[in-house]
Amino acid sequence: MLTKEAVLDVLSGIEDPELGKPLTELDMVKSIDIDGGDVTVGINLTVAGCPMKARIKDDIVRGVTHIEGVESVNVVFDVMSDEERQRLKEKLGHGTAAAAQAGTELNFAKRFIAVASGKGGVGKSTITTNIAVALARLGHKVGLLDADVYGFSIPHMLGVSGQPTIIDDKIVPIRKGDNLQVISMGFFVNPDDPVIWRGPLLHKAINQFLSDVMWDDLDFLFLDLPPGTGDVTLTIAQSIPSAELLVVTTPQSTATHVVGRVARLAEKTNLAVIGVIENMAYFETNGKKEYIFGKDGGKLLAERLGVSFLGEIPLTTSLRESSDTGHPPATDGTPEQIALFEKLARAIEQMHH
């Protein structure tokens, strides 16, 4: 039966693709007019050039057409006023009043996990991405903040691209599936441009990614740190006192030597190290594990730090290839790879402090 309530009911099941909440809840439904069998729906967009306009329109037309008695559906777009936008931000918990009240203590995620390595080239971003993907697959709401400003590779590994929408001064993160939100420097600079930022600007960018992004209420926010022990880690430690540090290493002793630095960093910043993951641990041929770079580097390091050793990740071509093509092995890999990252995800899930 064609009534306004019936149309509203359909609209309450349609989400804004970027904000991930129903149009009705976001106060985006401005009007519903019914004239015989003709329905006109007025929608208020957050920003004029909303890239998802066509998709919202299709979803509405498809949904409302199903109501009995509907002959035509017309969608008319308008843009929210400044006041309406402010109300929306407050509703989403990003209003100025809410922010002022919350002070600087960030609480949009239950757990903040920063992933560090003593040096570059250990596959840290691959591991971070795949653990985040695995946790999202297990039903958690996960955010992934690519804080590796000079070597941002996460968008590429996830196969996401595009420029995030900015509502006033708030950035809407890019979504991958229902449970994963991503924000990266890579969305804001041309991938081929060298990034020439230093210290203070970097500090500002990271803080902006923490405070000016419309993250969902997350179970986990992963922060992929630049290699080494520089400014970014200190910035994060200052902004999120409750952050945990996950260390990725490779087997060579030089890599473990490097991690002494990470341990000291943890002491200096008061971040709790929760565990060590060893990447490129071995190469498997005909069911036999070849420990090319030496064995147990990661385990020894975990013992030295007095933390859990979460596991070894083998060196495989398919892991690298799938990371290069935007198909994360944690969801798109072999059954072994999916199981491997699920095991790591569960280990992290079960840690409580």
Domain layout of the chain by residue ranges: 4-80, 109-349
Pair 215, 171: CB distance under 8 Å? no
pLDDT recorded at residue 21: 82
pLDDT recorded at residue 101: 40
Exposure of 131 by Cβ count < 10 A (0-12 exposed, 13-18 middle, 19+ buried)? buried
pLDDT recorded at residue 91: 72
Pair 214, 19: CB distance under 8 Å? yes
Pair 67, 60: CB distance under 8 Å? no
pLDDT recorded at residue 102: 42
d(CA 142, CA 131): 10
Pair 33, 39: CB distance under 8 Å? yes
Assessment of whether the complete model's pTM goes beyond 0.75:
no
pLDDT recorded at residue 97: 42
d(CA 226, CA 47): 33
Report the sign of the C-alpha dihedral through residues 121, 347, 222, 340, in that order. Answer: positive
Pair 14, 23: CB distance under 8 Å? yes
pLDDT recorded at residue 321: 66
User: What homologous superfamily is domain 4-80 in, according to CATH?
Assistant: Fe-S cluster assembly (FSCA) (3.30.300.130)
CATH topology for 109-349 is Rossmann fold (3.40.50)
Q: How many Cβ atoms are within 10 Å of 325's Cβ, its own excluded?
A: 12
Exposure of 42 by Cβ count < 10 A (0-12 exposed, 13-18 middle, 19+ buried)? middle
d(CA 128, CA 124): 6
d(CA 232, CA 247): 15
3-class DSSP state of 221: strand
- Positions in the chain whose pLDDT score sits under 70: 49-51, 93-105, 118-121, 149-152, 189-203, 227-234, 253-259, 281-282, 291-292, 294, 297, 316-324, 352-353
* Domains 4-80 and 109-349 alike in fold: no
Residue 4 corresponds to which tokens in the numbers above?
């306004």
- Phi–psi pair at 17, nearest 5 degrees: -60, -30
Closest CA to 17 of 48, 66, 57: 57
pLDDT recorded at residue 71: 92
Pair 211, 108: CB distance under 8 Å? no
pLDDT recorded at residue 135: 93
